[in-house]
Amino acid sequence: MKHRSLTIVLLIAIILAFSSCTTVRVSRLNENKKIDLSGDWNDTDISLVSERLIRSCLKGSWFSAFTKAKKADPVVIVGRFSNMSSERIDTSIITKRFEAALVESQKVIMVSGGEDREFARDERMSQQIYANPSTAKEIAMETGADFMLFGSVKTVTDTQGSRTVRTYYVSAELVDLETTRIVWLDETTIKKEISRSAYTW
């Protein structure tokens, strides 16, 4: 019994010794450095698909057709990107990348959508009650969008043994809000091969 108690004490001491030696090391990385640890969807993938699709969108024939007919820049609202993949993907990041790139292009007029638009509307309604009438913003003066952009993310996974090939399909489309016609549609893919060691220590 005494020997057993001593063994337990020694085991606890060893565990505590190892746990006390555990250190956490954090390194700041260059935001442009491409890192892929798990093979899952990451910020590099977001950058790649956003750049490709935005470039394609702004070069589409819809843009020149609209500006020629209307003699004005198109007003665009970015809608929702649906996650139809097998992973947990925060598609709101893709949405914000599209919004930022379209604003930066200075080719279109961007209007707010989703929760941001609701916050703006709440503030405008609040101004009707609390703000000086000379500074309160008028109701029903929003800029209506001509087009809405939205899309989806899907995945196909093929696995054999320790090897997995995962393909991401990211599509986006631009819809004329007056006619519901799709004026631009494109898809880009990212394919990854993931190899995992058969043995772990």
Q: Express each pLDDT in 67-103 by its tens digit.
A: 999 999 999 999 999 999 989 999 999 999 999 999 9
* In-domain check, residue 161: yes
Q: Residue 143 is part of which domain span? A: 39-195
Pairing of β 163-176 and β 182-195: antiparallel
Expressed in percent and rounded to 5, the helix, strand and coil fractions of the chain are 40, 25, 35
Residue 8 pLDDT class (50, 70, 90 cuts): low
| 186 in a structural domain | yes
Spatial contact of 98 and 147, defined as CB atoms under 8 Å apart: no
Whether residue 17 lies inside any domain: the answer is: no
pTM for the model stands at: 0.80
Question: What's the burial of 47, exposed, middle or buried (CB within 10 Å: 0-12/13-18/19+)?
Answer: middle
Interatomic CA distance for residues 131 and 137, integer angstroms: 9
| Tens-digit pLDDT profile for residues 12-32 | 666 666 555 557 776 666 666
Residue type present at position 189? T
Name the pLDDT band for 3 (thresholds 50, 70, 90). low
Average pLDDT over the chain, rounded to an integer: 87
Is residue 160 domain-resident? yes
What pLDDT does residue 194 have?
Answer: 87
* Residue 163: CATH number of its domain: 3.40.50
Rg of the chain, C-alpha, whole Å:
26
Strands (DSSP E) found in 10-146: 75-83, 109-110
- Domain total for the chain? 1
Q: Given this model, what pLDDT does residue 19 score? A: 57
Give the pLDDT of residue 162.
Answer: 86
pLDDT tens for 173-185 read 999 999 999 999 9
At 195, the pLDDT band (50, 70, 90 cuts) reads: confident
